[in-house]
Amino acid sequence: MIEFANVSRRYANGQFGLQDINFRLPTGRMAFLTGHSGAGKSTLLRLIPALDRPTSGKVLIGGYDLNKMGRHQYPKLRRQIGVVFQDHHLLTDRPVFDNVALPLQVSGYLPGDVRRRVDAALDKVGLLGRQRARIEELSGGEQQRVNIARALVNRPRILLADEPTGNLDPDLSRDIFDRFFEFHAVGVTVLIASHDVELLKQYPVPRIALNEGRISAFEEADS
Amino acid sequence: MSATATHDARGNSEKARRPLAAWRRHHRQCLRGALARLIRRPLGAWATILVLGVVLSLPALVMTLGHQVERLGAIWMSDAARMDIYLATDVDEAARQTLRDWLDRQATVAEQRVIPPAEGLEALTERLHIDGLETLEANPLPWVIELTLSDARTDTRLALAEGLREQAAVAEFSSGDDWIQRLEQIRAFFDELGWWLLLLLGLTVVFVVGNTLRLELHERRREIALIALIGGTERYMLRPLLYDGTLSGLLGGVVASGLVGMALSVTSGPIERFAASYGAAISPEIDPALILLLMAAGALLGWLSAQAIGRFYIGRLSTP
């Protein structure tokens, strides 16, 4: 479960990135985070894996108040959260396999398990057979799919995505969203930030609309 | 007990994770990575190692100097098992014999040899290459008794010296005590200076290694931020850096040992000649314990700087 209670994030220049955010996303549910660029979507997502701290208010993940969490507890929290970022955050000096395997190696999986899981994750995003390819050799869309495979490989409890289809064509975008939807179907809590309104309309998923750092609307799923 | 792995709803198997095996693997990877970085960037890495070697070799050289002084001192000590007694000028044959009998009774005296003034003058003429000394009206040299002592310990010498002072026939006697004490002080001074230098220059090593590692961290900041994002612990992120620092320090110690060895081989000629003049043969060699000390000190200092720099930067990169 993800819960925000009166959360604000104010920057050093005095501007608010987020202001008085309140919402609850129960375990296993999926939601979209919508809004223009600069509305605060990325800022909100960064608070969940404790990459940033709120200036005031509380963020609770699975009932744990992140404000009360020490820095030595962050790794455990972050291993339960898969993140797909707007910019790919891929290590360009390593092949696809090594990039996807990283979360498993960090968590202490054995090489055999790592190989099996990496292959399964790459298969899910349609990149099986590209394990040895270098990141530079891939197209923008393929790189984003590597990013998604890396977020899924550890089978996280929570999946966060920030504009995951920004560089992909409509067919591939729908394909990626279908995968997120499948993941949600097996009990993963999914929160996806996207401004692609047309694409979002195709999924019966509630939408949290952000505008200038505030929640402007909470729309139940269209169906 | 069932040995089957437990699976949660997402198919995660508890059995798949082997923290200890993964930890060992990561250590091996970090060591390989540190060696690879050394080979990949030979100039930058070896420049640091060379600086470390030079810095560490300074205290080592001072300590080695102290060690050589100690060895030369030991030769001096063997010389110190001798003592010369100069008799008063008015001592007659009977008094000389009384003194010789007294010396015979001393357990600390192993041997005695009497040198009459004529023999002493002959030896002096020969040693100083001066002609005409034999034409002197009266031989100014006293009778001398050359003693070989049973051992060279300071206690033995002091006990004998006390007895000699009470003998009327004895005008003077040589004792090497002052020199031995001075040598011991010099050796202690070099030793202490070496340790202080090691401490002071050790700080320099921490900064030199730290600066290289800081550059390394800056280059890898994206990777570190990513590992933090996917749940890597600070120790996991720090580990490659610890290997880099320790390896650099260790190799710095090896370079320092090489430099000290080179310095010793350059100075070996004069030291050998000096030892030979005392009838001893020593060839200056680097003490194996010093090599171990240098390598251990280098490795420890490298590890310490990696800890300090790593914890500071990784903390900043991985926490909000």
Interchain CB distance below 8 Å, B231 and A188: no
Q: Which of A71, A74, A110 sits opposite B21 (nearest CB)?
A: A110
Cβ-in-10-Å burial (0-12, 13-18, 19+) of A124 comes to middle
Query: Which residues in chain A have their CB less than 8 angstroms from residue B12's CB?
Result: 155
Please, what is the Cα angle at A23 between A17 and A26, to 5 degrees?
A: 130
Establish if A219 touches chain B: CB-CB under 8 angstroms. no
pLDDT at B16: 63
Q: Which amino acid is at B30?
A: C
Q: Taking a C-beta distance cutoff of 8 angstroms, is the pair B112, B103 a contact? A: yes
- Cα–Cα dist A43/A57, whole Å: 14
Long-range contacts, stretch B194-200, CB < 8 angstroms, 24+ apart: B194/B59, B194/B60, B194/B62, B194/B63, B194/B66, B195/B59, B195/B63, B196/B59, B197/B58, B197/B59, B197/B62, B198/B56, B198/B59, B198/B60, B198/B297
Per-residue pLDDT for A125 more than 90? no
Q: Which residues, including other chains, have CB under 8 Å from residue A78's CB and lie 6 or more apart? A: A49, A50, B228, B229, B230, B231
Nearest chain A residue to B12 by CA: give it.
Answer: A155
Q: Which amino acid is at A1?
A: M
Distance CA A165, CA B186 (A): 77
What is the structure's pLDDT at B6?
42
Interface test with A, best of B230, B236, B316 (most A CBs within 10 A): B230
Give the residue on B whose Cα is nearest the Cα of A78: B231
Put simply, the answer to whether B10 touches A155 (Cβ < 8 Å) is yes
- Is this prediction's pTM over 0.80? no
Confidence of residue B5 (pLDDT cuts 50, 70, 90): very low
Partner A contacted by B23 (CB < 8 A)? yes
pLDDT-derived band of residue B175, with 50, 70 and 90 as boundaries? Answer: low
The H or E element spanning position A3 is strand A2-10
Q: Judge whether A187 is closer than 8 Å to chain B, CB to CB.
A: yes
Q: Which residue of B has its CA nearest to A158?
A: B10
Beta bridge partners of A209: A34, A217
pLDDT of residue A111: 86
Q: What is the pLDDT of residue A31?
A: 94
Question: By the CB < 8 Å criterion, does A102 face chain B?
Answer: yes
Q: What percent of chain A clears pLDDT 70, i.e. is strictly above it? A: 97
pLDDT-wise least confident of A149-153, B35-39, B180-184:
B180-184
Q: Per the CB < 8 Å rule, is B229 touching A51? A: yes
Residue B2, pLDDT above cutoff 50:
no
> What is the signed CA dihedral for A112, A115, A117, A119, rounded to 10 degrees?
-150
Residue B279: the pLDDT is 64
> What does the alpha-carbon distance between residue B248 and residue B48 come to, in Å, rounded to a whole number?
8
* pLDDT tens-place string over residues A172-192: 888 888 888 888 888 999 999
Query: Is a pLDDT exceeding 80 seen at residue B251?
Result: yes
The 10 Å Cβ neighbour count of residue B307 is: 16
CB nearest B320 (choices: A52, A91, A188) = A52
pLDDT on residue B79: 60
Question: B55 to chain A, minimum CA–CA distance in Å?
Answer: 35
Percentage with pLDDT > 90 across chain A: 52
Is the pLDDT reported for residue B137 higher than 90? no
Q: Is the pLDDT of residue A169 over 90?
A: no
Tell me how close the Cα of A120 comes to any Cα of chain B, in angstroms. Answer: 12
Q: Which residues 6+ apart lie within 8 Å of B74 measured at CB? A: none
Contact (Cβ atoms closer than 8 angstroms) between residue B257 and residue B298: no
Q: If you search the block for the tokens 């696809």, which residue do you land on?
A: A96
Contact B22/A108, CB-based, under 8 Å?
A: yes
The tens digit of pLDDT for each residue in B196-234 reads: 988 888 888 888 888 888 988 888 888 888 899 899 999
**Residue B54 in tokens:** 């030079």
Q: Does B320 touch chain A (CB under 8 A)?
A: yes
Q: Helix B288-318 crosses helix B177-219 at what angle (to 10 degrees)?
A: 30
Q: What is the pLDDT of residues A17-58, one digit of tens each?
A: 999 999 999 999 999 999 988 899 999 999 999 989 999 999
Secondary structure letter of residue B146 according to DSSP: E
Please report the pLDDT score of residue B180 as a whole number.
67
The predicted structure's pLDDT at residue A23 = 93
d(CA A214, CA A207): 14
pLDDT digits (tens, 9 = 90+) for B54-108: 999 998 888 888 777 777 766 666 666 778 888 888 888 888 888 899 988 888 8
Distance CA A102, CA A122 (A): 13
Is the predicted pLDDT of residue B152 greater than 70, yes or no? no
Contact (CB<8Å) A51/B320: yes
Work out the mean pLDDT of chain A and round it to a whole number. Answer: 89
Contact with chain B for residue A91, Cβ under 8 A: yes
